[in-house]
Structure 1
Amino acid sequence: MKMVLMSILCGCVLLMDAPADAEEPKVNCEKADTQMEMNYCAEQDFNAADADLNAQWKVTRKALADWDKKLDVDQRGAENALLKSQRAWIDYRDGECEAEGYSAHGGTMEPMLVMSCKAELSKVRTEELKQLADTIGQQ
């Protein structure tokens, strides 16, 4: 019983000594050497691609909503179709990238493969959404 209490106390002391908000690691992604650094950089690349995708999503959704407003009520549906396609695309992206990660399943390289895949597919989707908004905006 004493060992259990000591373990709990030691664990609490260790938690109290940990920094409250850990700093981001300082990694030069152009010179990432370790798998941990490469995983981190792949995650950062995906986060940036996802932010760009989300920004373009708002622009494209607004373009299609504005398009719908120009149509008779019974002909509207562009914005809903876009939402449906985006939901399907997210399922596709996540499934495709999970499958790609299986080539290193359980290994330290798996997160990098998944994040790199998500970043690349997100960049392609961002361009697709931009083209759609541009096309709708021109009509």
Structure 2
Amino acid sequence: MGPLAVAVAVVLGSQFASGADAQTVAQCTAPQDQATMNACAAQAYAQADAELNTAWKSASTFAKAIGQDNALLEAQRAWLRYRDLACTVQASPFEGGTLQPFVKLECLREVTAARTRMLLDFNAY
């Protein structure tokens, strides 16, 4: 798990079911309450973040080989700012409600998965 995923788990963990451990596949297939949905969304985002970190390592190695490592790093930093702001805005209509963490985490997962595909495509050249 990447450092970002660990930070998300620590910071957002208190917003989920108190004392909740990792949710099982069965619980995440058909969650019965918002706290479980939020915890499952956090797990899904952590997985997406881990996949991004793997793709990043490969893409940055390729970027360095073609002299684009600084440009890729700058783009990644800009993308991180975009992702965080975009998902905060996406979840803002639900601010203060129990649905807000779920909406934000799902946004983070979706945007992260899209960036992972971009990095994998870049590395495939």
- In 2, Cα distance between the equivalents of 1:23 and 1:38? 12
- In 2, Cα distance between the equivalents of 1:25 and 1:58? 27
Deviation at 1:118, TM superposition (A): 0.2
| Counterparts in 2 of 1:96 and 1:26: CA distance versus 1, 3 Å | closer
Q: Which runs of 5+ in 2 are unaligned?
A: 1-18
Deviation at 1:25, TM superposition (A): 4.5
Aligned-partner residue type, residue 94 of structure 1:
D
CA contact (8 A) 2:88 2:104 kept: yes
- In 1, Cα distance between the equivalents of 2:90 and 2:20? 31
Secondary structure (helix, strand or coil) at the match of 1:132 reads: helix
CA contact (8 A) 2:45 2:108 kept: yes
* TM-score calculated relative to the size of structure 1: 0.72
Instruction: Report how many aligned residue pairs link the two structures.
Output: 105
Runs of 4+ in 1 over 6 A off after TM superposition: none
Aligned counterpart in structure 1 of residue 84 of structure 2, from 81, 89, 94: 94
- Aligned residue in 2 for 1:57: 56
Secondary structure (helix, strand or coil) at the match of 2:69 reads: helix
- Aligned residue in 1 for 2:21: 24
Q: What is the aligned-residue identity percentage? A: 33
CA contact (8 A) 2:52 2:112 kept: yes
Q: Provide the alpha-carbon RMSD of the alignment.
A: 1.3
* TM-score calculated relative to the size of structure 2: 0.80
| Counterparts in 2 of 1:24 and 1:128: CA distance versus 1, 3 Å | same
Q: Which runs of 5+ in 1 are unaligned?
A: 1-21, 69-77
- In 1, Cα distance between the equivalents of 2:38 and 2:44? 10
- In 1, Cα distance between the equivalents of 2:63 and 2:20? 41
